[in-house]
């Protein structure tokens, strides 16, 4: 069980490492805010803003802020400030696909979208763990100035419920860059 938790935390950090959170409560400074849906709790970490309603093995929402110059762990591709949203999506997808702990990675959807007023992308994908657990992730990302922001919902195939996704939509709708 502990190995699965470490694997999930590895996936969340390997895909887009960097500064995360919604404030300055011990984490590195971040410049966004979100609404925490009812009955969701933050999983305490100094590097992540990770929240769950029924446990990270069932589902979680992860919000990350990453400097565009920070290198990735699994790909040599990088972001740049002038990238189009679909170019940034390809960097993220290459990072995930290059991670050896992600098995049976399959992209279901990849399209440009707006997250509130920010031009970005939406990627939906599935993957398996070495223990055979399957997950589906809905991943929104966009570049703004020196930063890449991502908001994602990860859910076990055994737990996929509409109310979890509706809570994720609340977080998406509330996402704001402070001072923008």
CA gap 20, 48 in Å, rounded: 5
Q: pLDDT of 40-72, one tens digit each? A: 999 866 566 899 998 888 999 999 999 999 999
Tokens of 75: 């790909």
Per-domain residue ranges for the chain? 2-177
Tokens of 58: 């069932």
What's the CATH fold of domain 2-177?
Answer: Protein Transport Mog1p; Chain A (3.40.1000)
Spatial strand order in the sheet of 118-128: 41-43, 49-52, 59-67, 147-156, 134-144, 118-128, 103-115
Name the stretches of the chain with pLDDT < 70: 1-29, 44-48, 160, 180
Eight-class DSSP state of 35? P
For 69, 144, 157, 163, the CA distances from 76, given in Å and listed in that order, are 12, 21, 31, 37
Collapsing DSSP states into helix, strand and coil, what is residue 157? coil
pTM of the model: 0.82
């Amino acid at each position: 069980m502990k190995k699965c938790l470490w694997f999930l935390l590895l996936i969340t950090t390997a895909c887009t490492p960097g500064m995360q959170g919604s404030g300055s409560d011990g984490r590195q400074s971040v410049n966004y805010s979100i609404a925490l849906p009812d009955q969701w709790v933050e999983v305490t970490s100094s590097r992540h803003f990770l929240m769950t309603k029924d446990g990270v093995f069932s589902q979680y929402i992860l919000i990350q802020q990453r400097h565009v110059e920070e290198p990735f762990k699994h790909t040599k591709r990088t972001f740049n400030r002038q990238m189009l949203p679909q170019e940034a999506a390809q960097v993220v997808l290459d990072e995930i696909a290059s991670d050896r702990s992600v098995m049976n990675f399959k992209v279901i959807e990849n399209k440009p979208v707006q997250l509130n007023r920010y031009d970005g992308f939406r990627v939906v994908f599935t993957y398996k763990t070495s223990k055979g657990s399957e997950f589906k992730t809905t991943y929104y990302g966009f570049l703004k100035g020196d930063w890449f922001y991502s908001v994602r919902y990860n859910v076990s195939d055994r737990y996929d419920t509409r109310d979890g996704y509706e809570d994720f939509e609340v977080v998406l709708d509330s996402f704001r860059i402070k001072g923008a």
